[in-house]
Chains A and B, each alone.
Chain A
Amino acid sequence: MELLNTVFIAKAIIVGVVFAITLGIAAYSTYFERKIAAFMQDRIGPDRAGPFGILQPLADAVKMFMKEDFIPANSNKWLFIAGPCLSMLTALMTSAVVPFGDSVTIGGATFDLQGIDVNIGILWVFGIVSLGVYGIMIGGWASNNKFALLGAIRAASQNISYELAMGMAIITILMITGSLSTKQIVEVQQNGHWNIFYQPLGFLIFIICAFAECNRTPFDLPECETELIGGYHTEYSSMKLGFYLFAEYINMFISGAVMATLYFGGYDYPGVEFVTQQFGSNVASFVGVGALIGKSLGFVFVFMWVRWTIPRFRYDQLMNLGWTGLIPLAMYNVVVTGFGILVGKPFMVSIAGLVVLIAALFVYDQLLVKKKIA
């Protein structure tokens, strides 16, 4: 009973800390998004609120709360409120299974720095991410606005299409690890055996799908200001809008953490053994937490970098890429990985698979596609 209590308290603390870190990073993502956009366009960005504009998220929050919270007369009031709540809820739930660090020993008791270590970890992520589209769908439907509904429908079809390719990309990870538990996936990758080296193609597919799942540029068709005035959150104002935008940034951070977990060794970093010998395993674990968060923030930067580089896809291009590009590629990747495991040389076979793929595409291009008329 005593042990149960300590475990419960430890878990509560971990969940609370993860929650706080996620929210804090999401809040500051809005600031860094604007700063990075500014730097990439040779501007300065927000610099009025505090030194270097560091208090900008606070000012934004105050502004959001002060705005009129408008609910359209012909909307479905309860669903209209439920939409952003659901978006926020699902965005925050995903982080539960991400292993933020190795185990820590305090006072004889050992705790995993992870919300819950369930044996279906990665399926949990998938389930919650697919629930996330309900927030958008319900918000778009409840608005009773054609543009909002169009945005919501786009979001739904886009998420379903890209989830398939994403799942296929993850199957290869499961084949290598032999487990669905995120903890175990990370443990297999310790000491520099990161999955990115064995699964470059799988990672490429996964990151493209992650962009689509987060509704980020170049796949931000659900919001699409130029066509849909803002898409599913056209009718939203005040903090309800704020929740939708906030959920997007949380999703970005969490998908960065998931990508780091699946492909970049999670909390692994070069020199773990050195730190363990010098300062003990607890310090090494906490440095590992920093490494994971650093990797996630790196991915958040990539998300923003891509946003300010690439224009939006057209809808048919989006569907074409998802169904005829990524899904066959992911299937090919599964076959190549299976072959690699069979032969016993996963690294060599994955590189060979890439080479064969490019060669095959080149030959196909030479033989069958009509050339430019000179």
Chain B
Amino acid sequence: MKLSNKTKVLEQGEMTLAERMYLPAIVGGMATTLKHFFSKPVTIRYPEQTRYLGPVYRGQHILKRDEAGAERCTACGLCAVACPAEAISMVAEERKAGEETLYREEKYAKVYEVNMLRCIFCGLCEEACPKEAIFLRHDTMVPVFHQRDEVIWGKDKLVEKMDHRYLRDGWK
């Protein structure tokens, strides 16, 4: 049955004189390799050189602060529920008087932990978050860890630093 008209019927008959002498084909092949000899290599020397992976690449987690520097997370737990790998856990706490500059909502996450061995970087936490608090950065990857106690990332590593804010390409 013919599915398309693109089919090419390959016929292999007797070789012609030029084909039997090998030499024209060899010269042609050598011209091809010489052309590649002078073309630019496509290799990226990875640890030193990195490639731009796009604005939606799902890399390292970050807990965003708002413009005033208060943490956005309200410890609703939707990210933990959404997480298919059950990598996120948190402990909620009520905001005390005088902590308004630290936490935006009246409830906040006292403990917020991501288990980097369980995380599959699917980005569902990012989609589930109603407060736009958790994001997977497009520009940084989770570094390699060598010890067990480096695996679970707490708020000390996750919360955004105000002097080094994260801005995704396309955001204002």
- A residues apposed to B, CB below 8 Å: 36, 38-44, 47, 305-306, 308-310, 361-362, 365, 369-373
Contact = CB atoms under 8 A, between A and B. Distances in A.
Contacts of A42: 36, 39-43
Given A310-B26, A370-B14, 15 more contacts: A39-B36, A39-B38, A40-B33, A41-B36, A42-B36, A42-B43, A43-B41, A305-B37, A306-B26, A306-B30, A309-B32, A365-B17, A371-B13, A372-B11, A372-B14
A195 to B, nearest CB: 20
Contact of A39 (B13, B26, B41): B41
Contacts of A309: 26, 29-30, 32-33
A251 B108 CA distance: 75
Contacts of B26: 306, 309-310
Contacts, number: 54
Contacts of A362: 17
A370 B20 CA distance: 13
Contacts of B43: 42-44
Contacts of B53: none
B34 interface: yes
B45 interface: yes
Contacts of A310: 26, 29
Contacts of B11: 372-373
A103 B33 CA distance: 40
Given A309-B29, A309-B32, A36 B37 contact: yes
A44 B45 contact: yes
Contacts of B21: 361
A47 to B, nearest CB: 8
Contacts of B39: 42
A236 to B, nearest CB: 30
